[in-house]
Amino acid sequence: MSEREMEEIKKLLKKSLPAMGDVELRRDLWPAMQQRLAQASVHVPWWDWALLASAGVAMWLFPATIPALLYHL
């Protein structure tokens, strides 16, 4: 491909896709960032739920384990 062909494509692209270099951020994104941080801090990983479920199943199947579980809490 020649330099001229490259320039032709470049011209065509610039005609349809103006440069976005001057586009400015119109609002402060800090509130959105804070929301993201807050969501992350209350996120419970799936294995914690799995552990809770298995503890529940264990208590239901073997009620004798309840005092032992309570002792370890």
Tokens 């509130």 belong to 31
Residues that bind another protein (CB under 8 A): 1, 5-6, 8-30, 32-33, 36-37, 40
Distance in Å, CB of 1 to another protein, minimum: 6
CB nearer another protein, residue 41 or residue 67: 41
CB nearer another protein, residue 10 or residue 66: 10
CB nearer another protein, residue 23 or residue 73: 23
Closest to 58 in 3D by CA, of 43, 44, 73, 69:
69
CB of 55 closer than 8 Å to CB of 69: yes
